[in-house]
Amino acid sequence: MHHSNCPKQLPTKPRPTWEVADIIRIFGDEYRRDYNPPGDHRQIMHLLEICRTISLGGHIEKCDTCSLLYNAYNSCRNRHCPKCQTLTKEKWLQDRKRELLPAKYFHAVFTIDHKLNPLILINKKVCFDILFRSVNETLQEFAKDPRWKLGGQLGFIAILHTWSQVLMEHFHLHCVIPAGALSFDRTRWISPADDTFLFHVGCLSQVFRHKFLDHLKKAYRNNELIFPGRIAPLKDRREFYNFINLLYDKEKKWVVYLKHPFAGPEKVLEYLARYTHRVAISNNRIISVKNGKVIFSYKKRSEDYRSKPLTVEGPEFIRRFLLHTLPSGFMRIRYFGFLSNVSKKHSIPLIRQSLGQSPDLPEKVELSVQEMMLNLTGIDITRCPRCKIGTMMNIGEFSNRTPRCHGPPYQQMASQQ
Q: How far apart are CA 343 and CA 348, in angstroms?
A: 8
What's residue 403's pLDDT? 56
- Residue 401, pLDDT score: 65
Specify the pLDDT at position 92. 84
Q: What is the Cα–Cα distance from 49 to 46, expressed in whole angstroms?
A: 5
N-to-C CA span, the chain: 29
Q: What are the structural domains of the chain?
A: 1-84+286-320+367-417 (no CATH), 101-280+323-354 (3.40.1310)
Q: Is 75 helix (H, G, I), strand (E, B) or coil?
A: strand
Q: What integer pLDDT is reported at residue 271 of this predicted model?
A: 81
Q: What local confidence, expressed as pLDDT, does residue 139 receive?
A: 96
Q: What confidence score (pLDDT) does residue 14 get?
A: 60
Please check whether residue 314 is in contact with residue 27, taking contact to mean a CB–CB distance below 8 angstroms: yes
Helix/strand/coil (H/E/C) assignment for every residue in 295-333: EEEEECHHHCCCEEEEEEEHHHHHHHHHCCCCCCCCCCE
Divide the 417 residues of the chain into consecutive groups of 10 and give the mean pLDDT of each group. 39 72 97 96 96 91 92 91 84 84 91 96 98 98 89 95 96 93 93 83 92 98 97 97 90 80 78 82 95 95 82 98 95 96 94 90 75 72 90 88 49 34
Burial class (CB in 10 A: 0-12, 13-18, 19+), 297: middle
The pLDDT score that the predictor gives to residue 399 is 82
Model pTM?
Answer: 0.88
Q: Tally the residues of the chain.
A: 417
Q: CA nearest 52: which of 10, 83, 15?
A: 83
Contact 361, 346 (CB under 8 A): no
State the Cα–Cα distance between residues 223 and 302, nearest whole angstrom: 40
What is the distance between the alpha carbons of residues 14 and 379, in angstroms, rounded to a whole number? 12
